[in-house]
Amino acid sequence: MLRVTFFLAGLLAVLNIYLTEQTIVQAVSVLCILISLGVATIWPEPLPPPPPSDLWSEAPETKEREMKQCSNCGKAVDQKWSMCPYCSKKV
């Protein structure tokens, strides 16, 4: 929206040059054209709005993998593991 506003200000300055006969007003209008059209072309696009707060789902309460207990130290290890990473014994 800001780019469009600067572009319209530049167009009004062009119209002002066409309708005026005073040199000072024409000089100020040329400056207005250069500045407003320059800003209208180089002004960055606005950032997109932030994502909604309910976009991310809540973490599951249960673990996704099945666990089993080590027979030596009693800690939980992955179901597919054959050795306990804590005590290095066969599960």
HEC string for 25-91: HHHHHHHHHHHHHHHHHHCCCCCCCCCCCCCCCCCCCCCCCCEEECCCCCCEEECCCCECCCCCCEC
Averaged pLDDT, 52-65: 71
What is the residue extent of each domain of the chain? 2-42
Higher pLDDT, 54 or 71: 71
Q: Is the pLDDT of residue 56 over 90?
A: no
CA end-to-end span of the chain, whole Å? 66
Averaged pLDDT, 28-56: 85
Nearest by Cα to 90 from 77, 57, 58: 77
Averaged pLDDT, 51-80: 78
Rounded Cα distance, 79 and 91, in Å: 10
